Amino acid sequence: MVSYRKRGNVWQFEISFKDANGNYRKLRKSGFRIKSEAVSAASYVQVNNPKLTTYLRGQQSLLKYYQNWIKLYKENIVSDITYMKYVSTAKHISKLFGDTKLIDITKTMYQEKLNIFAKTHAKRTVSGLHKYIRACLLDALDENIIPTDPTRKAVITGKPSIENKKALSYNEWRKLISNINYLDPSEMMIYIAAVTGMRYAEVAGITRDAIDFSNQTISINKTWDYKYRTGFKKTKTAASVRIVTVDTNTISVLKQYLSFNNVDSFRPIFLVNHRILVSAQINQILKAKLKELSLPAITFHALRHTHASVLLYKGVSVLSVSKRLGHSNVTTTPSTYLHIIKELEAQDQSQIIKIICLVDH
C-alpha cells in the first residue's frame, strides 16, 4: 500500500509491504516538490525494488503464477502431450483454488483442496496434480515469493480404482493372438502390440515402408499423435528407435491386411477414414475382444507388459527384452517385470536343486 503526505514544502511517499517472512516493512522517501513527482517515484520503486517485487508477486493468484510458470519452464521444452497435461492442471487449479493468492496458501488449505479433488479422482490422478503444483510452488519458494512450502508432506488419497490385470499369461496371450481378425484395423493393432511389445503411439505410427518383408522386421523410428492429431512425431526416447524382428505368421497377416485395405506407403497403415482411434476407444475394443474370448480384462498398454512377460517367462534375457521394448535404461525392465523375474527365480532354484542332486558324491 502506498500513502503520500506533505511535510512542510515537500512531498513524501510511504510504501507498506510484507517481507518473505510475513513481517510488515515500510519504505519512505521525501523531498519531492509536487505530489506527482512522489507518485512517479513510488511507482518506479514498486516495480524495481526486489523486496517489493517479491511482495507483489506473492499477491498474484496461484493460477496466474502457475500459468506463467508453465509457459516459462515447460512450453517447447516438454513434449506437446506432456505440456497439455500441465495445461489441464491449470483448469483443476482454477476450480480448486479460484483467485487464492500465492501468499495465502497454507499447508492446511492445500491439504483440504487435495482432499476435495481426491473425492472424485483416482489416487494416481491426485498424485499427478500434486506433482505439478508442488514443482511450481517450490520455484516460488526459491524466489522467496512464499515463506514456506505448503505442499510439504501432503497426504495423497483418491477414489479406489478397479485394477485390471497387469498382463495375460502365456496361454491367455496365445489364445488372444490366435483369434484376431487380421483384416480389421483395430484388431490388427491389438495383434501387433501383443507380438512386438510396441507402445500404442508406435503401433499407430507404422507405415508400409517401415515393414521389411524379406528380413521380417518392423522399423520403429516415429510415432503418431493420435490424441491431438498433429501427425508424425518423434519416439518417446532415443532408445525407442529400434528394429523389431517378427515371425513368419506376422509378416503373412500384415501382407493380407495391407492388400485388403489398400494402404499406401506414406500414411500410417492403421489410419482409417483419415483418423486413428484414441487410446480410450482401442481399450474399449480390446475389452470387448477379451470378454468375447473369456479372457481377463487388461488395458492396451498391458499388451506391452504381456509381451515382455511372455519373453522373460520363456527364458529370453533381460537385456534382449529391454532392447526390444525400447527401454532407455536396462534397469527399467527388471523393475517393471519383477513379478515374472521372481517366478523365474523360483524355477531356477528348483533347477539348481535338481542339478546338485545329480552331482556324484
Q: Which residue has the higher pLDDT, 338 or 75?
A: 75
Say if residue 68 is in the same domain as residue 52. no
Boundary (domain end) residue, out of 58, 78, 102? 58
Q: What is the pLDDT of residue 353?
A: 59
Q: Which of 12, 28, 58 is the last residue of a domain?
A: 58
* pLDDT computed for residue 22 by the predictor: 61
Whether 66 is covered by a domain: the verdict is: yes
Co-location of 204 and 327 in the same domain: yes
The span from the first CA to the last CA of the chain, in angstroms, equals 93
Q: In this structure, what CATH number is given to the domain that contains residue 75?
A: 1.10.150.130
Q: Give the C-alpha separation, 265 to 206, whole Å.
A: 10
User: How do residues 248-262 score in pLDDT, each as one tens digit?
Assistant: 999 999 999 999 998
> What's the rounded mean pLDDT across residues 69-84?
87
Angle between helices 318-325 and 300-313 (to 10 degrees): 160
| 218 vs 243: CA distance, rounded Å | 6
- Examine residue 303 and state whether it is found in any structural domain, yes or no: yes
The percent of residues above 90 in pLDDT, for the chain, comes to 50
**Alpha-carbon distance values, 273 to 134, 206, 276 (Å):** 42, 16, 8
For residue 214, the tally of other CB atoms under 10 A from its CB is 6
DSSP structural state of residue 36: H
Q: Note down the domain range covering 30.
A: 2-58
**Residue 335 domain-assigned?**
yes
- Residue 353: inside a domain: no
Instruction: Quickly tell me which residue has 489416487 as its cell.
Output: 123
In a domain, 177, yes or no: yes
Query: Is the pLDDT assigned to residue 186 strictly greater than 70?
Result: yes
In terms of domains, do 92 and 49 share one?
no
- For position 347, what pLDDT does the model report? 57
Domain match, 69 and 49 both:
no
Which range of 201-210, 220-229, 312-321 scores highest in mean pLDDT? It is: 201-210
Please, which contacts does 27-34 make with residues 24 or more away whose CB atoms are closer than 8 Å? 27/52, 33/9
50 and 72 inside one domain: no
Residues 89 and 203 in one domain: no
Based on the domain organization, do 191 and 52 belong to the same domain?
Answer: no
Read out DSSP for 266-289?
A: SSBTT-BTTB---HHHHHHHHHHH
| Res. 289 pLDDT band, cuts 50 70 90 | very high
Instruction: With cut-offs at 50, 70 and 90, classify the pLDDT of residue 342.
Output: low
Q: What integer pLDDT is reported at residue 361 of this predicted model?
A: 47
Residue at 67 is within a domain: yes
Mean pLDDT of 317-322: 88
Q: Indicate the pLDDT class of residue 13, thresholds 50, 70 and 90.
A: confident
Whether 50 shows a pLDDT value over 80: the answer reads no
Q: What is the mean pLDDT of residues 60-89?
A: 90
pLDDT value of position 53: 58
Sheet of 2-7: strand order equals: 2-7, 10-18, 24-32
> Which of the residue ranges 291-305, 311-325, 347-361 has the most confident prediction, judged by mean pLDDT?
291-305
Q: How many CB atoms sit inside 10 A of residue 188's CB?
A: 23
Measured between alpha carbons, how far is residue 235 from residues 10, 239, 243 in Å? 68, 8, 13
Domain count for the chain: 3
Indicate the average pLDDT of the chain: 86
pLDDT-wise least confident of 38-42, 67-71, 119-123 = 38-42
Same domain, 242 and 311: yes
* CB proximity list for 207: less than 8 A, separation 6 or greater: 265, 266, 267, 268, 269
194 & 235 share domain: yes
Residue 156 domain-assigned?
no
Considering the domain boundaries, does residue 152 fall inside one? no
Choosing from 20, 38, 58, the residue where a domain stops is 58
My answer on whether 83 and 54 are in the same domain is no
Q: Are residues 183 and 105 part of one domain?
A: no
Q: Does one domain contain both 177 and 228? A: yes
